[in-house]
Structure 1
Amino acid sequence: MTVRPATPADVPALTAVYGHHVEHTLATFDLVPPTEADRAAWLAAHPGGRHRVLVVERDGAVVGFAASGPFRARPAYDATVETSIYLAPTATGQGLGRVLYGGLFDALAGEGLHRAVAVIAQPNPASEALHRAFGFSHVGTFEEVGRKFDRWVDVAWFQKEL
């Protein structure tokens, strides 16, 4: 397996991985799968530095990605990033998430960041375990703030010092 920065050539795979989660999981509150143009614009907004996208390849195919992006638009939040990770359904439970997230946090180490935050729709014990393994701690839960698949969904907030 290989972890590397995402490139425009990865847009079809990024679109497929994320689209799966839009259509089948609570991992994102997007309700309509993105187009490749949507994902290309999203990737362009993560040029490197504090806001980047890494992919994990297995057997030459991209099977997941991790990203860091702005937490909030106001400048006082610049030293905080929101992180996320998505794997193809065929890539879960194999340690790829740990390798991928490890690569992301290694890449962020020299960027002068103070905090990373992650938002996890509930329930998602696998994502919680991954985040805790990387030093995130639970700081609160908003109850029934999202609605997907005809039900209300809680979101748990986690943070990590960088």
Structure 2
Amino acid sequence: MTEFNNDITFKKAELNDLPYIVDIYNQTIPSRMITADTSPVTVADRITWFEAHNTTNRPLWLIQYKNKPCGWVSLSTFYGRPAFNKTVEVSLYIEEQYRGKKIGQYTMQTLEKYAQEIGICNIFCFIFGHNQPSLALFNKLGYQKWGLLPGIAELDEIKRDLVILGKQLK
């Protein structure tokens, strides 16, 4: 589908990619830094979510590094009201062994270009306040703090902030 930096490619996720996508997602749960889920999800749990991304304007891409899957990225509908059709939430999950290789940065730059091509004006994300690597990535890419939900999540009896970062595309 899209190629960037020769080593990083993207393809539209297919149903047979869903077990891999779920596996990557589940790998992040124990860290208590990336998702608010506290126990693993199943492929069956994610079918409806997957189908909601099976469109041109709400993509779900498999990220490949040197032709091997290394993560996934998606754009999701925000709030489900027509006035927000040009605003999307981004989710980015990269396998731990592939982090620190600028894959997230390249992925987001490519995704932003694609989003502009399909008429998206705003991208935002929810990141836990203690997830410094993700906050640093999105700040580096020009995302600004659009909101803070203090102590809204409780993970292992510790209250955690949720930061909303966003970017208006040109």
Query: TM-score, length-normalised on structure 2?
Result: 0.87
Moved more, 22-31 or 116-125: 22-31
Shift of 1:80: 0.8
CA distance in 2, matches of 1:87, 1:21: 9
Secondary structure of the structure 1 residue equivalent to 2:117: coil
Instruction: State the alpha-carbon separation in 2 of the partners of residues 108 and 117 from structure 1.
Output: 12
1:38 is displaced (CA, Å) by 2.2
Determine if contact 2:124/2:165 at 8 Å carries over to the other structure. Answer: yes
| CA distances 1:53-86 after superposition (whole Å, capped 9, x unpaired) | 1121134432111111011122221111011111
Q: Secondary structure at the match of 1:13?
A: helix
> Which secondary structure does the structure 2 equivalent of 1:109 belong to?
helix
Q: Could you say which residue in structure 1 is the equivalent of 2:134?
A: 127
Structure 1 residue 140 displacement after superposition = 2.4
Give 1:40's aligned amino acid.
I
Alignment equivalent of 2:92, drawn from 85, 98, 105: 85
Amino acid at match of 2:122: R
Does the C-alpha gap of structure 1 residues 36 and 13 become closer, same or farther in structure 2, counting only changes over 3 Å? same
SS of the residue aligned with 2:167?
Answer: strand
- Structure 2 Cα separation of the partners of residues 22 and 77 of structure 1: 29
Question: Any gaps of 5 or more consecutive residues in structure 2?
Answer: 1-7
The corresponding residue for 2:103 is 96
- Quick check: 1:3–1:103 contact (8 Å CA) kept in 2? no
Q: Structure 1 unaligned segments of length 5 or more: list them.
A: none
Shift of 1:150: 2.1
TM-score by length of 1: 0.91
For the 8 Å contact 1:137–1:160, the answer to whether it is kept is yes
Q: Which residue of 1 aligns with 2:60?
A: 53
CA contact (8 A) 2:32 2:155 kept: no
Deviations 1:18-67 (A, max 9, x none): 01112333211122221112233322110232211112113443211111
Number of aligned residue pairs: 162
What is the aligned partner in structure 1 of residue 3 from structure 2? none
Return the alpha-carbon distance in structure 2 between the equivalents of residues 94 and 83 of structure 1: 20
